[in-house]
A = this chain, B = another copy of it.
């Protein structure tokens, strides 16, 4: 079990989805579930479900299925570790930043929002999802003092290019990146999760126009 390093990205991307469906099952009072039931709900195959779970060390019971609470606990540990929250800062407190901040602030996701930053003086000083918006000048001193591990970027492309260099220098280990710029190419040494909303929207357009469901 916990055979680190051999878990592929496709599997990792499915973990939160498993977690969601299992939470629903638990809420419905189900205590056992089979790989085929889970597969049906998730729109995948029983084979894949079993294969995925076995990346970590099978926690099922042959002939019976999986216990929902065991799965929730195991996958929960994988996703959230031993419970320590990842100290996080957000940069860019516009509309997108505002919406996104609420996801980080929810303590069910495993993060702790320390502060938000913006260049716009009109926003500075306001509260957002429980933290104060600070001027960008304070970024360096804040990071040196508070050692955030994760930065969430909700800024335009051009700012993101410069900011990411600065942030990596300041010891940031991961980015949740909404900027229109690909951090993983410039900074392969950090962990990046890109959310390119414009790209997502455009590829939907392609599929719709080409009638490919």
Contact = CB atoms under 8 A, between A and B. Distances in A.
Interface size range of chain A in the complex: 35 or more
A78 interface: yes
| Dominant SS among interface residues on chain A | helix
Identical copies of this chain, number: 2
A195 interface: yes
A16 B199 contact: yes
A210 B99 contact: no
A173 interface: yes
Interface of A: 4-5, 7, 12-13, 15-17, 19-20, 41-43, 78-81, 86, 94-96, 98-100, 102-104, 106, 109-111, 149-150, 173-174, 176, 180, 182, 184-185, 188-191, 193, 195-210, 212-213
